[in-house]
Chains A and B, each alone.
Chain A
Amino acid sequence: MSGILKKIMTSLAALALVLSVGVASAAEKTKVGFIYVGPIGDHGWSYEHDQGRLAIEKAFGDNVETTYVENVSEGPDAERVIQQLARAGTDIIFTTSFGYMNPTLKVAKRYPDVKFEHATGFKQAPNVATYSARFYEGRHVIGLIAGSMTKTNTIGYIASFPIPEVVRGINAAYLAAKSVNPDVKMKVIWVSTWFDPGKEADAAKALIDQGADILMQHTDSPAAMKIAEDQGIYAFGQASNMHTFGPNAQLTAIIDNWGPYYVSRVKAVMDGTWSSGDTWDGIGAGMVGISDFSDKIPADVRKLAGDARDALAAGKLHAFTGPINKQDGSAWLVAGETANDGDLAGMNFYVEGVEGSLPQ
């Protein structure tokens, strides 16, 4: 009996040795952790963050070790997972959903030597930086295309929840579409979920039935794109290039391109130059990508959209430039005035012309 016990003990000790050696050799590498709200196979939000993680691996090769946890809800589990990542000796942790904001700050307080990067939040700390992308710039570009190309003058918009990010997208797309087509109407359907392919598909069908001939979405699955493809209308990819789901339907896609930012932040950790801050980059810095325009877009529209993209990238154009009234008719921006970041960050109103109401 004791012989067996001894054998088990020695093999356990050997195992421990193997593990500790593994840890020791990894110590030279910079360890990078990620926490995702969805599965990496969602072809949307989490998928693109994971593409950013792979970009880090590609850029630094053996000098870096990345790890991730997917499908972590924004509720009580987030803090534990972030802390487990910190405990695992991670040097920098990217927490990639808004709901991770307070858990990130709590863990950051306990691990002052670990760097944290929180996506889309607004609270920083000495070791917590925030970053987000100006997706509304992309919405401006697709709004121009949609406004120019719609034959029924009806754009369908599948929305998730009325948070500023989503409201900003609706407003930006509507204003751009309206600027090229005064008769355009935007039908918005809120599906009250980020991810339910069936319901997103139902909403897409409902919008098409009601006359929409171009779809936009702010939900995570490619279902609406696939419906657009099957019904022979147009749509725009959301978060990632959805070309495979709609080879004919996709006019272009707004791509969350986190790679360059992630690589630069990991580089900063390696160089010892990392510092906290708030980054809100757009097309110019490459954080918001616009995928190749489809041949289906007429040449003049392509030029219009391309010019807008370049002007936005160069900082010569702002997607929210006055005069803009709020939905109730009250003035928001006077002629020539551009929206400040504070207004944009907390946007909870529709601009004039958008139908429907937002919860207050």
Chain B
Amino acid sequence: MDLTILILQGVIVAATPLLFAAIGELVVERAGVLNLGVEGMMIIGAVAGFSVTLETGSHMMGILAAMLGGMVFACLFGFLTQVLMSNQVATGLSLTIFGLGIAALWGQAYSGMTTEPLAKLDIPGLTSIPIIGPLLLSHDILVYMSIGLTIGVGWFLSKTRPGLILRAVGENHDAAHAIGYNVVGVRMLAIMFGGACAGLGGAYLSMVQTPLWVENMTAGRGWIALAIVVFAAWKPNRALLGAYLFGGVTVLQLHAQGFGVKIDAQYLSMLPYLVTIGVLVVISRDKTKANLNAPACLAKSFYASS
């Protein structure tokens, strides 16, 4: 197969966990909530997806378990921040610490085991079409889910009434409340959605990308996902761009080394971060689009006064 296509396939694999987590967090932040616990929810998704796949032999069950696991942890965050109005930044960070710990305990019984990786799509006659086949029609179901999710979330936020409500809650929770919307309810749903997505991102790592379970295996991807939401200026299509850009540069610099590029590998390893900063600077340079597009109520606690 053509090397370019192979490289692009590698990019898709590296970008998909980031995209899942970023899309989820994007919805959460659009609702005005900042959950820095993405890493914690991802690792729970990774261990849940892997262990349940192993126990049941069904990848579908594993995927469901990963979503559920991420959601349960998100609910914990939601309860603390929405009901008890705790500080979102600190609660999210604590969730990361907690999640990494729980996942390590949970996974102890599963270390050293393996499952079959998630099957790739294979449409007879179509997958074998040159270029288009291997590039577009030969991935696992989660890749298509992540793309579908991005499109769906974009449509939901901009075209639907519930999406409008969600944005209103994120922009001005007092006004949204005054109109009669259930701010806490909307936010809880958004947080749970975010948890499910982060769980999927983690599951992609443990069920497709590696595919195995080891402690601390997310290795900071939750943080990258958070950065991608900012990069995206809270727009889903740009989150796709961000995830593929970051994943792309990561994979490309590995390939560059294989080709024998005469640059110290540690400098090459800096590239994904530097390129992301560079691109962000270029696309946000226009100062007339002020406010950085951040939801106005991001990270602010809401209290229903009446």
Q: Which of B104, B250, B259, B269 contacts A202 (CB 8 A)?
A: B250
Complex CA–CA separation, A193 to B220 (angstroms): 12
Minimal beta-carbon separation of A359 from chain B (angstroms): 5
Residues of B within 8 A of A199 (CB): 219, 250, 254
Q: Is A196 interfacial (CB-CB < 8 Å)?
A: yes
Residues of A within 8 A of B10 (CB): 202, 205-206, 209
Minimal beta-carbon separation of B12 from chain A (angstroms): 11
Is the pair B113, A198 in contact by a Cβ cutoff of 8 Å?
Answer: no
Complex CA–CA separation, A187 to B265 (angstroms): 13
A197-217 contact mask (Cβ, 8 Å, vs B): 1 or 0: 111111101110110000000
Minimal beta-carbon separation of A177 from chain B (angstroms): 17
Residues of A within 8 A of B264 (CB): 357, 359
Q: Is A54 interfacial (CB-CB < 8 Å)?
A: no
> Which partner residue on chain B sits nearest A212 by CB separation?
B258
Is the pair B114, A244 in contact by a Cβ cutoff of 8 Å?
Answer: yes
> Which partner residue on chain B sits nearest A41 by CB separation?
B111
Q: Is B124 interfacial (CB-CB < 8 Å)?
A: no
Is the pair A202, B212 in contact by a Cβ cutoff of 8 Å?
Answer: no
Complex CA–CA separation, A189 to B112 (angstroms): 25
Is the pair A205, B114 in contact by a Cβ cutoff of 8 Å?
Answer: no
Complex CA–CA separation, A190 to B258 (angstroms): 9
Complex CA–CA separation, A133 to B88 (angstroms): 48
Is the pair A198, B17 in contact by a Cβ cutoff of 8 Å?
Answer: yes
Residues of B within 8 A of A196 (CB): 219-220
Minimal beta-carbon separation of A328 from chain B (angstroms): 13
Complex CA–CA separation, A156 to B107 (angstroms): 30
Complex CA–CA separation, A205 to B215 (angstroms): 22
Whether A41 touches B214, Cβ cut-off 8 Å, given contacts A209-B10, A210-B259, is: yes
Q: Which of A189, A209, A230, A359 has the most CB of B within 10 A?
A: A209
Is the pair A197, B265 in contact by a Cβ cutoff of 8 Å?
Answer: no
B187-228 contact mask (Cβ, 8 Å, vs A): 1 or 0: 000000000000000000100011110111111110000000
Q: Which of A162, A190, A206, A227 contacts B251 (CB 8 A)?
A: A206
Is the pair B255, A210 in contact by a Cβ cutoff of 8 Å?
Answer: yes
Residues of A within 8 A of B262 (CB): 356-357
Stretch of A6-14, A109-117, A218-226 that contacts chain B: A218-226
Complex CA–CA separation, A42 to B212 (angstroms): 11
Residues of B within 8 A of A197 (CB): 205, 209-210, 212, 214, 217, 219
Complex CA–CA separation, A227 to B104 (angstroms): 23
Complex CA–CA separation, A273 to B77 (angstroms): 57
Is the pair A39, B215 in contact by a Cβ cutoff of 8 Å?
Answer: yes
Q: What is the count of residue pairs linking A and B with beta-carbon distances less than 8 angstroms?
A: 118
Q: How many residues of B contact A (CB 8 A)?
A: 41
B5-34 contact mask (Cβ, 8 Å, vs A): 1 or 0: 011001001100100000000000000000
Q: Which of B17, B215, B217, B254 contacts A203 (CB 8 A)?
A: B254
Q: Is A73 interfacial (CB-CB < 8 Å)?
A: no
Residues of B within 8 A of A42 (CB): 214-215
Q: Is A195 interfacial (CB-CB < 8 Å)?
A: yes
Complex CA–CA separation, A244 to B214 (angstroms): 14
Residues of B within 8 A of A356 (CB): 257, 260, 262
Is the pair B221, A41 in contact by a Cβ cutoff of 8 Å?
Answer: no
Q: Is B154 interfacial (CB-CB < 8 Å)?
A: no
Within 8 A of A (CB), among B218-270: 218-221, 250-251, 254-255, 257-260, 262, 264-266, 269
Is the pair A209, B217 in contact by a Cβ cutoff of 8 Å?
Answer: no
Q: Is B3 interfacial (CB-CB < 8 Å)?
A: yes
Q: Is B117 interfacial (CB-CB < 8 Å)?
A: yes
- Secondary structure class of chain A's binding surface, majority of residues: mixed
Residues of A within 8 A of B250 (CB): 199, 202
Q: Which of B113, B211, B216, B221 contacts A39 (CB 8 A)?
A: B216
Is the pair A198, B104 in contact by a Cβ cutoff of 8 Å?
Answer: no
> Which partner residue on chain A sits nearest B104 by CB separation?
A39
> Which partner residue on chain A sits nearest B1 by CB separation?
A209
Is the pair B219, A193 in contact by a Cβ cutoff of 8 Å?
Answer: yes
Is the pair B210, A226 in contact by a Cβ cutoff of 8 Å?
Answer: yes
Complex CA–CA separation, A202 to B9 (angstroms): 11
Minimal beta-carbon separation of B143 from chain A (angstroms): 15
Minimal beta-carbon separation of B43 from chain A (angstroms): 12
Whether A209 touches B7, Cβ cut-off 8 Å, given contacts A41-B111, A187-B258, is: yes
Residues of B within 8 A of A203 (CB): 254
> Which partner residue on chain B sits nearest A159 by CB separation?
B265
Residues of B within 8 A of A156 (CB): 258
Q: Is B128 interfacial (CB-CB < 8 Å)?
A: no
Complex CA–CA separation, A210 to B7 (angstroms): 9
Minimal beta-carbon separation of B257 from chain A (angstroms): 5
Complex CA–CA separation, A188 to B261 (angstroms): 11
Is the pair A210, B217 in contact by a Cβ cutoff of 8 Å?
Answer: no
Minimal beta-carbon separation of B29 from chain A (angstroms): 24
Name 16 extra pairs, CB < 8 A, besides A201-B210, A230-B117, A245-B114: A41-B112, A41-B215, A43-B112, A187-B257, A189-B265, A192-B266, A192-B269, A202-B10, A202-B13, A202-B209, A222-B214, A226-B114, A226-B212, A227-B210, A356-B262, A357-B262
Interface residues of B (CB under 8 A from A): 3, 6-7, 10, 13-14, 17, 104, 107-108, 111-114, 117, 205, 209-212, 214-221, 250-251, 254-255, 257-260, 262, 264-266, 269
Closest 8 CB pairs of A and B: A190-B265, A209-B6, A192-B269, A196-B219, A41-B111, A39-B215, A206-B254, A223-B210
Interface residues of A (CB under 8 A from B): 39, 41-43, 156, 162, 187-193, 195-203, 205-207, 209-210, 221-223, 226-227, 229-230, 244-245, 355-357, 359
Interchain Cβ contacts under 8 Å between A and B, 20 examples:
A39-B215, A41-B104, A41-B108, A41-B214, A190-B257, A190-B265, A190-B266, A192-B265, A195-B219, A197-B210, A202-B250, A206-B254, A206-B255, A210-B258, A221-B210, A226-B211, A230-B117, A244-B113, A245-B114, A356-B260
